[in-house]
Structure 1
């Protein structure tokens, strides 16, 4: 596998690559689109070139560290584990060979939106659902394993083409499972964004809870749809 890009399965003209410094102008353009930022909690509005530069200055070094570690062991027969995913930028390869940034997908352990909204004032996890578990309740599948978070966005011009569904599948199946040994992934989508929910449902995510008025984003309370994915052996064994 080429570490520098992944090809989503059903779209030969779509690749997922490491972020690049030259992405800054396109990134600022896309994240200034209300059709994108209204479904995201973190981007500042307006999203300026300086915000894009700051973001890229943070994520590019992380990607390079992972790639350097993998390149140093590329002659080994055994598949080497990675501590993260070095590719996150979704690009369309156009007929002239140029690559157009059209979206982003990331997986990590530090930006779990669902984790933030499941902690009480003492930092302990709380159950949001009406059928809250009692302390003596049996463990559910996935309890006790490392929880990763996945987030994504896509240019509106490329919606409804199955691109993000394929990108999520590719990141999980071609990287997160074999390279990172990921067993559990959570994601959050704002209520009122059924398309995002459907993308994750197609990739085997199940709804864990829907939290109304979970967070204030740009002066408006938003609900969160929390979803969870477990690797097949965990689901089968009930671990």
Structure 2
């Protein structure tokens, strides 16, 4: 699981009026979900996802691969992150941050994937960030979701062509996820970050797309949901 600090961090825009915030929140919350599999959706973060955030971001199996969210993750942290969801949208109102939902469990949020809309010239920070509940690992969900989110938001809507990301050295699952999505490991470009007072080494991953790459990138058809979930 990689982690992008500006995506995972709790942010709010205090300059918005309550009316503007409510308008943006309604637009964000009504964003049409994407069926990733016959039982799993990608959809906008909702206030009802607070319980899942508290459950999984306090799970050491998730937290050990994340740099950004505080630990322990408190109700205040979850409230701020959910409130700040309207600041994580493109100019057209498309969420930069989507959550996985297991529709067999009433739409329970089980993970998230986010992308950046920063300019192509701003490659110091990460352009992707994600986490997934441990029980859903090994199913290829994250690589597929990352491609969907990159194509729909960053590539098609924002027009990004250059992407930067990192994974903890030794986190082969995260590195392979990014490689499946088109990222290439950059040897001799390791970085370090501080986590819990310790220096953590990071692999650097980058993806640069030309016009031909963009035409064919992430052509993933939406899955057909189980009839019982429609």
2:96·2:153 contact (CA, 8 Å) conserved in 1? no
Whole-Å separation in 1 of the counterparts to 2:158 and 2:117: 11
Q: What is the correspondence of 1:113-132 to structure 2 with a 5 Å cutoff?
A: 115=124
Aligned partners of 1:205, 1:19: CA distance in 2, in Å? 26
3-state SS of 2:48 partner: helix
* Structure 2 partner of 1:141: none
The answer on 1:36 being equivalent to 2:45 is no
Distance 2:123 2:198 in 1: 18
Q: Distance in 2 between matches of 1:26 and 1:33?
A: 11
| Count of residues in correspondence between the two structures | 183
SS in structure 2 at match of 1:88 = strand
Question: 1:6 and 2:34 equivalent?
Answer: yes
2:145 counterpart of 1:197: no
* Aligned partner (choices 160, 164, 168) of residue 186 of structure 1: 164
- On the 8 A contact 1:84/1:107 being kept in 2, the answer is no
Distance 2:186 2:142 in 1: 21
- Does the CA contact (< 8 Å) of 1:20 and 1:56 recur in 2? yes
Aligned to 1:222: 200
**Correspondent of 1:91 among 84, 89, 101:** 101
Gaps of 5+ in 1: 70-81, 117-147
Gap regions ≥5 residues in structure 2:
1-29, 215-230
Q: CA deviation at 1:83?
A: 6.9
**Structure 1, 165-174 or 82-91: larger mean CA deviation:** 82-91
Cα distance in 2, alignment partners of residues 55 and 3 from structure 1? 18
Name whichever structure is richer in helix by fraction.
Answer: 2
Deviations 1:154-207 (A, max 9, x none): 000100001101101111223332222121111111111100000010111111
Decide whether the 8 Å contact of 2:31 with 2:94 is kept in 1. no
1:89 shift after superposition: 1.1
1:106 to 102, 114, 117: 114
Give the aligned partner of residue 129 of structure 1: none
Separation of aligned partners in 2, 1:114 and 1:182: 11
TM-score, scaled to structure 2: 0.70
CA contact (8 A) 2:163 2:207 kept: yes
TM value normalised by structure 1:
0.68
Shift of 1:102: 0.7
Check if 1:150 corresponds to 2:176.
no
In structure 2, distance between residues paired with 1:156 and 1:184: 30
Which SS does the other structure have where 1:53 is aligned? helix
Where does residue 87 of structure 2 map in the other structure? 62
Aligned residues of 1:6 and 1:15 also touching (Cα < 8 A): yes
**Alignment CA distance shift 1:205-1:212 (3 Å):** closer
Question: Is residue 112–residue 132 contact of structure 2 (8 Å, CA) maintained in 1?
Answer: yes
* Counterparts of 1:90 and 1:161, CA distance in 2: 13
